Structures are given as structure tokens and as C-alpha cells.
Amino acid sequence: MNNITARGIAETIASLDRTVGELEGKAKILSLCAVEGDDVARKGLAEVLAKIERAKADRVVLENAGEAARERETNAGREADEADRTRCMDEARAHAGKLVEAAARADALVSAFKKALADLSHAESELRRVLSAAGARPSEGVVGQRNIEQLAIERMLFALKGLDRLRPDEPSVADRARRAWASLLRDDHADESRA
């Protein structure tokens, strides 16, 4: 079965209308001759008028077919649009699921980072408290001996802004802590690999 389009039918109707126009022009000429008594003209006029009537009947059929074809094309377009919409919505749902999973991982990282900051702050406070109790005062000018959690925050912000790739040799927070407290660390902490 040929899948005839509304456009193809409209083109056929236009061609048929041109043909009917030409036939109607012939009918006018033959009508005059037939009225004047020309028998050949009468016979020709009857044939032309019959062709015009068939063409007009064909046009009605074509108009109905054109309307049916437009409806079919509209429905096919709607079905295709619905299929596209369904596909897009399925894809959107998948992306939404991935987004929620990534958000949950981000929340876990934030919680872990906040816990690490609290642990850094507590460990630093306790270290300073026991050093003070021992009468040993740490040097104030050594990076990593004071506000180590601030170094961690700065390092995180640096990484989040993408600036860490510009300075790949920047010491980690753990490296700075190891250097700052090297005199107090046992061998197992001093030899840990860089984080």
C-alpha cells in the first residue's frame, strides 16, 4: 500500500483543477459551435462535459482523501511527538536519579569534611593543651601548628575552584601537619605517604 501524503494529494488536486480549467475553456468554445448547429461540436461538448463531471467527482474524492491523509499525518506526528516525549521523560528520570545519587554523595562528603574539620580542631586544641601542661610552647611561625582546619578549608576551596591543577605540588594538609609536628610524631606517622 502506497503511503500517499496530503501534500501529494494537494498537488494532484491542483493538477486536476488546471485540467478542469482547460476543459471548461474548450467547453465554452464547443458550446458556441454546438448552439450554432455543429454536430461534431455537440458530440465533443458532451465528451468534455462528461470529463469535467468526472474530474469534479474525482476532486471530491481527492479532497476527502486529502483530509484523511492530513488526519493520519497529524496523528502520526502526535504519536511521534508522544514517543519523543516519553523517551525524553525516561531520560530525564534517569538523569534525575543520577543527580540525587550524586547529591547524596556530596552530602556525605560535606558531612565527612565537617567531621574532619572538627577532628582537626579538637586534636589541635588537645595538642596545645598538653604541650602547655608540659611547659613546651610550639613555635607560632610554623605553618600547620595553628588553625590547621583553616588550611583544610582553604585547600578544599582551592580544589573546588579548580585551582589545584595550577599548583599540583602544593603540600597537602597532612603534609603540612607532619612537617609542623615532626618533632612530636612517632616514626609510623612521620613516614606515612602523602595524601
Give the pLDDT band of residue 136 (cuts 50, 70, 90).
confident
Mean pLDDT of the chain, nearest integer: 88
Q: Is 142 helix (H, G, I), strand (E, B) or coil?
A: coil
11 vs 139, residue with greater confidence = 11
pLDDT of residue 191: 46
**pLDDT over 70 at 1, yes or no:** no
Rounded Cα distance, 195 and 131, in Å: 26
pLDDT of residue 187: 56
**pLDDT over 50 at 82, yes or no:** yes
Mean predicted confidence (pLDDT) in 130-158: 84
Mean predicted confidence (pLDDT) in 147-160: 91
Tens-digit pLDDT profile for residues 33-62: 999 999 999 999 999 999 999 999 999 999
DSSP 54-79: HHHHHHHHHHHHHHHHHHHHHHHHHH
- Residue-range domain boundaries for the chain: 1-101
Helical segments of the chain, H only = 6-35, 39-134, 148-160, 173-180, 187-190
Query: What percent of the chain has pLDDT above 90?
Result: 59
For residue 194, is it left (φ>0), alpha (ψ between -120 and 50) or beta?
beta
pLDDT of residue 170: 85
pLDDT of residue 40: 92
